[in-house]
Amino acid sequence: MREVKFLWKKREAEDFIVKEISEFEIDEEGSHYLYLLAKRNYTTREVSKRFNLSYAGMKDKFALTFQKVSSSEFLGNLISEKEDQRWFILKFLGKIRRKVKIGQLKGNKFAVKVEGFNFKERKAFINYYDVQRIGGNWFRGKELLKRLLDKPRRRLKWSENLLLDSYLSYLWNRSLELYLIDRFTGYYIFDGEERFFIPESLEERIDGLPKFWTVLGYKKKLLTSALYYREVLKGEGFSLDEVLEGLRALGIKGDYRMTYVLVKDFKVIGKYAFFFLPKGSFATMFLKHIQAV
């Protein structure tokens, strides 16, 4: 199968601009404080941990990003800090009744610099987890799962959850990839050590795809994905039944993730491409699909 290298590169934070789309009703009787967090070259977690903030979604570190966060106490009307090439600003917006929680967003608007990037416009892409989620972590997650299957009944640390989520995301990618290879011609695109199967003529046959593909967990039905998970896990040295039993012992319920994403409001102005993606999808994965090959 044809193999190509992913050519889009982020050279500075302003090459990748993200604005979270979320709605929180201001209520002066509320007990939580809503802030706009603007940041450059910080992770959401770095700033949030420092000020004990709650957020709806993680935003890229090496980027210019805007999102809403909340605090249980008033931090002031404006907080800002700059250190070398990174900075953040917290601007008070008003009170809200409940704190901001993971998943309370509609999606994200992106402005991505595409100057010098040869691409073709596409209206949809496969919703793989990208290297931000799996790169460098999925193999460590696999080794952790091996150990957990021996003694699974315990509470996971945050770092362990991160590694296990990375491996489950990798398995989601691989199982869906097998399904797609059975049905589409296409090619592999490489981003570092990770590769992704990109189907050709996706839009023409998208109605025939399942809308959701299961993320492994003890509480979600596998449906179409069962056959493909069995094959992938066999190659990984596991059986599907033992993995599901281990996830049950760990309390990992699983989820349903959109198999493909429809891109909205795509346009190119000057050096930038502008578009909207629903929550949980990766703009860099969209760029992988539109790269001209």
55-59, 132-136, 238-242, 276-280: which range is least confident on average?
132-136
In whole angstroms, what is the distance from residue 83 CA to residue 25 CA? 33
Q: What is the pLDDT of residue 152?
A: 64
Residue 187 to residue 198: CA distance in whole angstroms: 5
Buried b (16+ CB within 10 A) or exposed e, 232-256: bbeebebebeebbebbbebebebbb
Q: Which amino acid, residue 130?
A: D
State the CATH class of domain 23-105: alpha beta
Work out the average pLDDT over 71-98.
96
Q: Which two tokens stand for residue 125?
A: 């892409």
Specify burial of residue 67 (Cβ count, 10 A radius: 0-12, 13-18, 19+): buried
Tokens standing for residue 278? 């629903």
Share of the chain above pLDDT 90, in %: 91
Q: What is the pLDDT of residues 206-248, one digit of tens each?
A: 999 999 999 999 999 999 999 999 999 999 999 999 999 999 9
Domain boundaries, the chain: 23-105, 124-261
Contacts 24+ apart (CB under 8 A), 265-268: 265/109, 266/121, 266/123, 268/114
Give backbone dihedrals phi and psi of 117, rounded to 5 degrees, phi first: -100, 115
- Quote the tokens at residue 291: 């790269």
1, pLDDT greater than 80: yes
pTM of the model: 0.93
Q: Which amino acid is at 112?
A: V
> Which tops the pLDDT comparison, 266 or 201?
266
